[in-house]
């Protein structure tokens, strides 16, 4: 099935609009409700990305995905934490911010990678990385129990299979009803996983993958396309809300003073990405230099990084500055991705490798 995506400029444009709206109306409301982002905004964003994942392509590309997710996330977290230590941040806060920024953003990466016409296998690699490293990043931030995370994954898989079977049994022709069923599943599974101490993020990702796999050969393509469109535009709206929410949690002075720190953090992220993509991935002969360069430019950050930094207690020393740095750094990676990914994709296609 051909899966549509947004034009490459939409998410950065929405992020900038949301940021501007938040900064213009900054105040205590943003800070008071910020922690809710991880529970109410991020899960549907991750479900939408998981819903679009090509599991067969991921299975074929498991080796580069494993390298990007495991050592790749750890290297990024350490590089960002080191950069923040240079700015005199305390180690616990520096590590938390590094872990929050270690994962690429699935919504942005999927939108960007598919918009530039990259080869299917490469798109599958960066998409799978962006989904699976989210779970790893949450584990780093929260020191999640791996056994409970495995249980959460099983819960999501079972729920996805069950909801998919239900949709097939009902022979759903109404895209809105199918979308509503999946929304219900997202919040029910996420809440259930969080209730026993597991990872709601992991549960929601597996829910999306298994539900789509179960129904895509039974539900007609038109219904799936329309339901997918609902999710696509829901992701746009939720990204706007999240960036506005983040912008409202600090004032314009915070954003201005964050520029130096954000610049250093972006350089640290770029260095970590180059080490992983151009260094560690060299062990895989099937990935040419042009392909590795494309992977290197797909290091876009987004919703999860913002939501995770929201969990930092705003009253901790340096917490407000950390939020502002992450906010500016995420916007910067999106803008860099808009320019860098199309260029690396053109060079890749021109090289024929």
Whether pLDDT at 81 is above 90: yes
- CA–CA gap between residue 256 and residue 216 (Å, rounded): 47
Say which range, 6-10, 22-26, 242-246, 320-324, has the weakest mean pLDDT.
Answer: 22-26
| More confident call, 61 vs 249 | 61
What does the block give as tokens for 34?
A: 């910020």
pLDDT at 251: 61
Whether pLDDT at 269 is above 70: yes
- CA–CA gap between residue 311 and residue 36 (Å, rounded): 9
Residue 288 in domain: yes
Residue 14 in domain: yes
Cβ neighbors of 306 (< 8 A, separation 6 or more) are 37, 242, 243, 246, 326, 327, 330
Total domains, the chain? 1
Name the residue range of residue 107's domain: 10-351
As a whole number, the mean pLDDT across the chain is 83
pLDDT at 2: 46
Q: What phi, psi does 168 have (nearest 5°)?
A: -70, -40
Residue 85 in domain: yes
Whether pLDDT at 168 is above 90: no
pLDDT at 29: 55
Phi-psi region of 116 (alpha: psi -120 to 50; beta: other; left: phi over 0): alpha
| More confident call, 257 vs 294 | 294
Whether pLDDT at 5 is above 70: no
Q: Tell me the per-residue pLDDT of 282-300, one tens digit each, with 9 for 90 and over.
A: 999 888 888 999 999 988 9
Residue 121 in domain: yes
Burial 285-299 (b: 16+ CB within 10 A, else e): eebeebbbbbbbbbb
Residue 245 in domain: yes
Whether pLDDT at 115 is above 90: no
C-alpha dist (Å) from residue 147 to 132, 150, 151: 16, 5, 6
Whether pLDDT at 315 is above 80: no
- The alpha helices in 116-249, defined as continuous H runs, are 120-142, 146-169, 175-195, 200-215, 221-247
- CA–CA gap between residue 105 and residue 137 (Å, rounded): 11
C-alpha dist (Å) from residue 19 to 230, 248, 273: 23, 8, 26
pLDDT at 1: 46
Cβ 155 vs Cβ 192: under 8 Å: yes
- CA–CA gap between residue 183 and residue 179 (Å, rounded): 6
Residue 4 in domain: no
The percent of residues in the chain predicted with pLDDT above 90, rounded, is 23
Grouping H, G, I as helix, E, B as strand and the rest as coil, residue 304 is: helix
Q: What phi, psi does 315 have (nearest 5°)?
A: -85, -10
Q: What is the largest CA-CA distance in the chain?
A: 59
Say which range, 29-38, 178-187, 321-330, has the weakest mean pLDDT.
Answer: 29-38
Residue 5 in domain: no
- CA–CA gap between residue 86 and residue 66 (Å, rounded): 30
CATH number at residue 134: 1.20.1530.20
Residue 1 in domain: no
């Amino acid at each position: 099935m051909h899966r549509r995506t947004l034009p490459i400029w939409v998410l950065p444009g929405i992020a900038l609009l949301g940021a501007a709206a938040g900064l213009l109306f900054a105040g205590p409301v943003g800070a008071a409700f910020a922690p809710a982002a991880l529970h109410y905004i991020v899960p549907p964003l991750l479900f939408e990305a998981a819903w679009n994942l090509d599991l067969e392509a991921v299975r074929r590309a498991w080796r580069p995905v494993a390298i990007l997710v495991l050592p790749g996330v750890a290297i990024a977290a350490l590089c960002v934490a080191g950069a923040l230590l240079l700015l005199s941040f305390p180690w616990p806060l520096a590590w938390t911010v590094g872990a929050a920024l270690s994962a690429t953003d699935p919504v942005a990466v999927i939108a960007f990678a598919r918009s530039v016409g990259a080869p299917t296998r490469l798109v599958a690699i960066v998409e799978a990385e962006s989904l699976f490293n989210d779970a790893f990043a949450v584990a780093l931030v929260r020191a999640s129990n791996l056994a409970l995370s495995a249980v959460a994954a099983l819960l999501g898989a079972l729920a996805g299979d069950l909801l998919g079977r239900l949709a097939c049994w009902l022979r759903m022709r109404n895209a809105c009803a199918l979308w509503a069923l999946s929304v219900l599943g997202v919040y029910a599974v996420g809440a259930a996983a969080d209730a026993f101490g597991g990872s709601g993020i992991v549960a929601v990702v597996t829910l999306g993958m298994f539900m789509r796999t179960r129904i895509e050969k039974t539900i007609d393509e038109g219904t799936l396309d329309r339901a997918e469109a609902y999710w696509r535009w829901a992701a746009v709206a939720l990204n706007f809300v999240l960036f506005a929410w983040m912008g409202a949690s600090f004032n314009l002075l915070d954003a201005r003073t964050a520029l130096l720190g954000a610049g250093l953090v972006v350089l640290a992220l770029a260095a970590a990405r180059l080490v992983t993509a151009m260094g560690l991935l060299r062990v895989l002969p099937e990935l040419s230099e042009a392909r590795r360069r494309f992977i290197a430019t797909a290091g876009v950050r987004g919703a999860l990084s913002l939501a995770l930094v929201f969990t930092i207690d705003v009253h901790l020393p340096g917490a407000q500055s950390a939020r502002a740095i992450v906010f500016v750094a995420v916007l910067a990676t999106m803008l860099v991705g808009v320019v860098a990914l199309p260029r690396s994709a053109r060079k890749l296609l021109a090289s024929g490798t």
